[in-house]
Structure 1
């Protein structure tokens, strides 16, 4: 039994050793586990808000607009840390569904601001309730201390690594 415990803790002890981190161990990497967590929590949230017809990515956009409205497409892209094309597609779907509308600013016709419609306002409570239910489940399963630790660790990792991968690819001549 002690041997099995040592075997299980071995990857944590050798995480820094390149030769020990072969591709078959990918399920034990931070990247894989973070992606898996994102997929599982998004699927759970989607199930909780299914009746709204809104996807989690759309709910995040609406969440920003509920905090502050109106916002420009560029500002939404910056706040959600997603590309301008991606936010544009999301806004197009929300606009087509009558949930948001885009309006040009009279003083600067180049600037387009995103506003919630009355229909968009009605989605606030069901989307918020789904998020609260999920947070409460995670709190019961993991506890507040572990959630805070995991959230802080992932946030710090994201801040430290954002831009690092594209900079590494650029220096290796992979990006043009």
Structure 2
């Protein structure tokens, strides 16, 4: 069957038996990646429940534990999230007494993020939860497959953030 486009040209439509089958959505990379992210995040949330910290907040703390202080802009860049998202996350962490934001005296536009003692005290429980989750998955998959999975996910994320030239933040 053919149909006429607005320009008057005939658009060819393949009969259903000649069209490529639509892949089952559960077999798609997007679905599997979303499911993986949700399941690993739920598992991590259960492991860190006693800390009062959400996974996104733990990632911010992870950057600060190794690179304190960092500017708000630099934190957003390192975590590959938008300015609004980092601002909201830092506000929650500040209210919880985990970080402090301080303006730089020489340039009041720049805000530096510092850990408090409470923020420093969360390092071991959050690190321990990360290690436990990684060890459990590695035990199930094997060290080689776990390394391959991590390398593959890292590469796919790089492709989606750079090669596809599409915005990925916020």
Normalised by the shorter chain, which TM-score bucket?
0.7 to 0.9
Once residues 64 and 117 of structure 1 are traced to their aligned partners in structure 2, the CA distance between those partners, rounded to angstroms, is: 14
Q: Which stretches in structure 1 are left out of the alignment for 5+ residues? A: 1-17, 168-176
Query: Aligned-pair distance for 1:21?
Result: 3.0
Name the residue aligned to 2:22: 21
Query: Aligned-pair distance for 1:36?
Result: 0.7
Report the number of matched residues: 148
More helix by share: 1
Name the residue aligned to 2:166: 166
TM-score w.r.t. length of structure 1: 0.80
Query: Aligned-pair distance for 1:166?
Result: 2.7
Highest Rg: 1 or 2? 2
Once residues 156 and 48 of structure 2 are traced to their aligned partners in structure 1, the CA distance between those partners, rounded to angstroms, is: 29
Name the residue aligned to 1:67: 66
Deviations 1:32-74 (A, max 9, x none): 1111111111111110110000000000000000010000111
Name the residue aligned to 1:126: 125
**DSSP-derived class of the 1:166 partner:** coil
Structure 1: 4+ residue segments shifted above 6 A = none
Once residues 149 and 30 of structure 1 are traced to their aligned partners in structure 2, the CA distance between those partners, rounded to angstroms, is: 16
Provide the alpha-carbon RMSD of the alignment. Answer: 1.4
**DSSP-derived class of the 1:149 partner:** helix
Once residues 27 and 165 of structure 2 are traced to their aligned partners in structure 1, the CA distance between those partners, rounded to angstroms, is: 20
